[in-house]
C-alpha cells in the first residue's frame, strides 16, 4: 500500500500472549495443572465440531490428569517459552515493540490456591522474564488471570462460585504486585472477563453437563460477580503503588443489526448491553446498570452479594479500558445465516470476508467500536489483542509470505489512526500474536497468528525453531516509518 498514517510518538506498540498458550513446562518447578491444560486436542474434520471441546465433564478433566485416554493436551506444551523466553523477547524488541503483554500462570505461584506462601520457583521464573524485558527496554502489561484457573481450586473449592476463591485470587494478585511493581506498569486482572460463560462450560462450574442452561447461566453471573469483587479488591490494593494502572479486558466484537427493521435494531441494542456494555459499565461505574437488573429478574437470576460488595465496587473502578477486537457480526431477532466461529456462532455479514474459522474481518468496525467506547466512558483505551489466525506452512526459503496478515494489520492500523483523529484517546496496541501460539479456543497450533513462525505442529512435533514471516519485517518497518 505504502501510505503514511499518523500516530502519536509515544503510542505503545507491541504484542500480546498468554501463559498457557506459550509457556509449556506444565509440570515443572511445582506448577499445578490449569483447566486449560486439561482440554485435549481434537482433530477437526471440517472445523465445525468444536462443541466437543466445550462439553467436558469433571470426569473427563480427572481422567486427563493421568492421561488415561492417551490424548494430546497442547496447552501443556505451548511453544516452550519457558525455556526460550530470552530468544523470543529479543525478537520482539528487534521488531520494534515498546510493550509486551503476557500473563502469569496462577498455578506456578499458588499451585493449590490455598497455600500460605507463594512458590519461590514460580516467582523466580517471572522475575527472570521481567528482568529480560527490562534489559530490552520493553514496557510490560500483565494479565493476572488469562483463563487458566488451577484445577485444584476447581476440585476443592468449586471455582469462582465459592467466595473463598476471591481471597485466594487476591492473595495471588497481591503477591504479584508486591513482587513485581517495579517492572509492570499495566495490570489486567482478568482476560476477556465477558467470556467466562465459555469457560464455565469447561469445568469451572463443576459437572456443567448435569445442569440446565438456566442454572449454567445463573452460575456464570455469580462467578462473574465474585470476579468483579476480586478485581475491586486488587484495584484497592494497587492504589498503594505509584506508576501503576489497572484496566479491564473485554472481548469486544462490533455487532450490527442485520437490517433496518426496528425489531432487529433493538435486538442488537439489547445484545450489546448484556454482552459487552454490561461489563464495561460495572467496571467503570462500580454499579450494576439498570438494564441488567431487568435481565436478571426476567431470567430468574439472583446474585448473592455481601453487604460490603456494593461499596467496594463503587470505590474501585478501572483506570483504563482494554479490549480484544478480531471481528464483527450481525444480529437478528429471528434466525439468520451464521458463520462458524470457534466457541460461538456469528451472524453473517454479506459485506465482509471471513477467515477459515468464520471470523469476519472488519477494520471499520474497530473505528466504530473505539468511538463507541470513548463516547460512553471517556477513559483511555488500549487494544490488547487484534490479529488474524491462518493455516500456514513454511516455504522453501524458510519463511511465509503472509500478505493477508500485512493487509489485515495495515487496515486496522489505518482505522485506529482515523479514530485518534476522531478524538478517541487510544494509547496503545498489542497485536495477537507476535509469535505463533496454541489457539485458546480450538487448541490447535495450526491456527497461526504470529509475525514469527514456530516449528511445532498440532501434536507438538517439530524443532520449535522460530522463523520470521514477511509480516515481521513489515511490522518492523511500520514502527520506523508509519507506512502501511
Residue 472: partners with Cβ closer than 8 Å, 6 or more residues away? 95, 451, 452
Backbone angles phi, psi at 13, to 5 degrees: -95, 145
Q: How far is the CB of 343 from ligand P53 (least distance, A)?
A: 5
The label of the residue with cell 459437572 reads: 207
CA–CA separation, 122 vs 214, rounded Å? Answer: 39
Q: Which of 14, 118, 365, 389 binds ligand P53 (CB under 6 A)?
A: 389
Q: Does 342 bind ligand P53 (CB under 6 A)?
A: yes
Q: Which stretch binds ligand P53 (CB under 6 A): 48-56, 77-85, 93-101, 433-441?
A: 433-441
Of 46-54, 199-207, 438-446, 473-481: span binding ligand P53 (CB under 6 A) = 438-446
Q: Does 142 bind ligand P53 (CB under 6 A)?
A: no
**For residue 171, what is its C-alpha cell?**
492473595
Region from 129-137, 224-232, 293-301, 432-440 binding ligand P53, contact rule CB under 6 A: 432-440
Total residues contacting ligand P53 by CB under 6 A comes to 17
Scanning 121-129, 227-235, 294-302, 435-443 for contacts with ligand P53 by CB under 6 A, the matching segment is 435-443
Distances (CA, A) of 7 to 232, 325, 475, 479, 481: 33, 19, 14, 10, 11
What is the distance between the alpha carbons of residues 67 and 69, in angstroms, rounded to a whole number?
Answer: 5
Q: Does 447 bind ligand P53 (CB under 6 A)?
A: yes
Q: How far is the CB of 364 from ligand P53 (least distance, A)?
A: 18
The answer to whether residue 94 is catalytic is no
Residue 129 CB, nearest distance to ligand P53 (Å)? Answer: 18
Rounded CA separation 96/105 (Å): 26
**Residue 267 interacts with ligand P53 (CB under 6 A)?**
no
Q: 166: which residues sit within 8 A by CB, 6+ positions away?
A: 226, 229, 230, 233
Report cis status (omega within 30 of 0) of the bond before 433.
yes
What's the min distance (Å) between Cβ of 345 and ligand P53?
12
Q: What's the min distance (Å) between Cβ of 63 and ligand P53?
A: 24
Closest contact distance (angstroms) between CB of 2 and ligand P53 is 29
Residue 432 or 474 with smaller CB distance to ligand P53: 432
**Which residues are within 8 A (CB) of 138 and not within 5 positions of it... i.e. 6 or more apart?**
14, 89, 92, 93, 97, 98, 99, 100
Location of C-alpha cell 476480586: 230
Q: Does 74 bind ligand P53 (CB under 6 A)?
A: no
Binds ligand P53 by CB under 6 A, chosen from 32, 191, 268, 417: 191
Pick from 251, 409, 431, 452 the residue near ligand P53 by CB under 6 A.
Answer: 251
Select which of 23, 139, 267, 385 is catalytic.
385
For the question of residue 192 being annotated catalytic, the response is: yes
SS3 402: coil
Q: Quote the CA–CA distance of 2 and 15 in Å, as a whole number.
A: 23
Q: Which of 220, 430, 439, 471 binds ligand P53 (CB under 6 A)?
A: 439
- Residue closer to ligand P53 by CB (options 18, 224) is 18
- The answer for residues whose C-beta is within 8 angstroms of residue 399's C-beta and 6 or more apart is 453, 467, 468, 469, 470
Please state whether 392 falls in left (phi above 0), alpha (psi between -120 and 50) or beta.
Answer: beta
Does residue 193 touch ligand P53 according to CB under 6 A? no
Active-site residue, selected from the candidate residues 23, 37, 192, 392: 192
| By CB under 6 A, residue 388 contacts ligand P53 | no
Nearest to 329 by CA among 300, 350, 302, 299: 350
What distance in Å separates the CA atoms of residue 373 and residue 321, rounded to the nearest whole number? 9
> For residue 176, how many C-alpha atoms fall within 13 Å in the half-sphere facing its CB?
31
Q: Where are the alpha helices (DSSP H) in 378-469?
A: 403-422
Judged by CB under 6 A, the chain residues 279 through 338 that form the site for ligand P53 are 324, 326
Determine, following the binding rule CB under 6 A, whether residue 432 of this chain makes contact with ligand P53. Answer: yes
Does 440 engage in binding with ligand P53 (CB under 6 A)? yes
Q: Which is nearer to ligand P53, 326 or 377 (CB)?
A: 326
Closest distance between ligand P53 and the C-beta of residue 242, in Å? Answer: 29
**Residue closer to ligand P53, measured from CB, 355 or 417:** 355
Residue closest to ligand P53 when measured from CB atoms: 441
- Contact between 408 and 326 under an 8 Å Cβ cutoff? The reply is no
Residues of the shown chain interacting with ligand P53 in the complex, contacts defined by CB under 6 A: 18, 21, 191-192, 251, 324, 326, 342-343, 385, 389, 432, 439-442, 447
Q: Which residues are catalytic?
A: 192, 385
Amino acid at each position: 500500500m505504502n501510505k503514511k498514517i499518523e500516530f502519536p510518538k509515544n503510542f505503545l506498540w507491541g504484542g500480546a500472549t498468554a501463559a498457557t498458550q506459550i509457556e509449556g513446562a506444565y509440570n515443572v518447578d511445582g506448577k499445578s495443572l490449569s483447566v486449560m491444560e486439561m482440554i485435549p486436542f481434537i482433530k477437526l474434520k471440517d472445523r465445525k465440531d468444536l462443541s466437543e471441546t466445550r462439553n467436558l465433564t469433571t470426569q473427563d478433566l480427572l481422567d486427563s490428569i493421568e492421561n488415561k485416554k492417551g490424548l494430546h493436551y497442547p496447552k501443556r506444551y505451548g511453544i516452550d517459552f519457558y525455556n526460550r523466553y530470552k530468544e523470543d523477547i529479543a525478537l520482539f524488541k528487534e521488531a520494534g515493540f515498546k510493550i509486551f503483554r503476557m500473563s502469569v500462570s496462577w498455578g506456578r505461584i499458588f499451585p493449590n490456591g490455598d497455600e500460605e506462601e507463594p512458590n519461590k520457583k514460580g516467582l523466580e521464573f517471572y522475575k527472570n522474564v521481567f528482568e529480560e524485558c527490562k534489559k530490552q527496554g520493553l514496557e510490560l502489561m500483565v494479565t493476572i488471570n488469562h483463563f487458566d484457573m488451577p484445577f485444584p481450586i476447581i476440585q476443592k473449592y468449586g471455582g469462582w462460585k465459592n467466595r473463598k476463591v476471591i481471597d485466594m485470587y487476591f492473595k495471588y494478585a497481591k503477591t504479584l504486585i508486591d513482587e513485581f511493581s517495579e517492572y509492570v506498569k499495566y495490570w489486567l486482572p482478568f482476560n476477556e472477563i465477558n467470556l467466562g460463560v465459555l469457560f464455565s462450560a469447561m469445568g469451572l462450574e463443576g459437572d456443567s453437563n448435569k445442569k440446565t442452561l438456566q442454572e449454567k447461566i445463573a452460575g456464570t453471573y455469580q462467578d462473574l460477580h465474585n470476579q468483579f469483587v476480586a478485581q475491586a479488591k486488587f484495584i484497592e490494593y494497587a492504589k498503594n503503588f505509584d506508576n501503576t494502572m489497572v484496566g479491564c479486558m473485554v472481548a469486544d466484537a462490533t455487532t450490527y443489526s442485520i437490517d433496518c427493521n426496528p425489531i432487529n435494531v433493538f435486538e442488537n441494542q439489547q445484545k450489546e448491553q448484556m454482552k459487552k456494555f454490561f461489563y464495561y459499565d460495572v467496571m467503570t461505574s462500580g454499579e450494576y446498570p439498570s438494564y441488567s437488573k431487568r435481565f436478571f429478574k426476567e431470567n430468574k437470576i439472583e446474585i448473592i452479594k455481601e453487604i460490603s460488595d456494593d461499596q467496594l465496587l463503587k470505590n474501585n473502578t478501572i483506570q483504563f479500558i482494554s479490549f480484544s477486537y478480531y471481528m464483527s457480526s450481525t444480529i437478528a431477532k429471528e434466525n439468520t445465516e451464521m458463520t462458524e466461529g470457534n466457541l460461538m456462532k456469528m451472524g453473517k455479514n454479506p459485506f465482509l470476508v471471513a477467515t477459515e474459522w468464520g471470523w469476519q474481518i472488519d477494520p471499520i468496525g474497530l473505528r466504530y467500536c473505539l468511538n463507541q467506547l470513548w463516547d460512553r466512558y471517556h477513559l483511555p483505551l488500549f487494544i490488547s489483542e487484534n490479529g488474524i489466525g491462518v493455516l500456514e506452512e513454511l516455504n522453501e526459503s524458510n519463511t511465509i509470505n503472509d500478505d493477508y496478515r500485512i493487509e489485515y494489520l495495515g487496515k486496522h492500523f489505518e482505522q485506529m489512526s482515523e479514530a485518534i483523529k476522531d478524538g478517541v484517546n487510544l494509547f496503545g496496541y498489542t497485536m495477537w500474536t507476535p509469535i505463533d501460539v496454541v489457539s485458546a479456543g480450538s487448541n490447535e497450533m495450526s491456527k497461526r497468528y504470529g509475525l514469527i513462525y514456530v516449528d511445532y505442529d498440532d501434536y507438538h512435533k517439530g524443532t520449535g525453531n522460530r522463523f520470521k514471516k514477511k509480516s515481521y519485517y513489515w511490522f518492523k518497518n511500520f514502527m520506523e516509518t508509519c507506512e502501511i
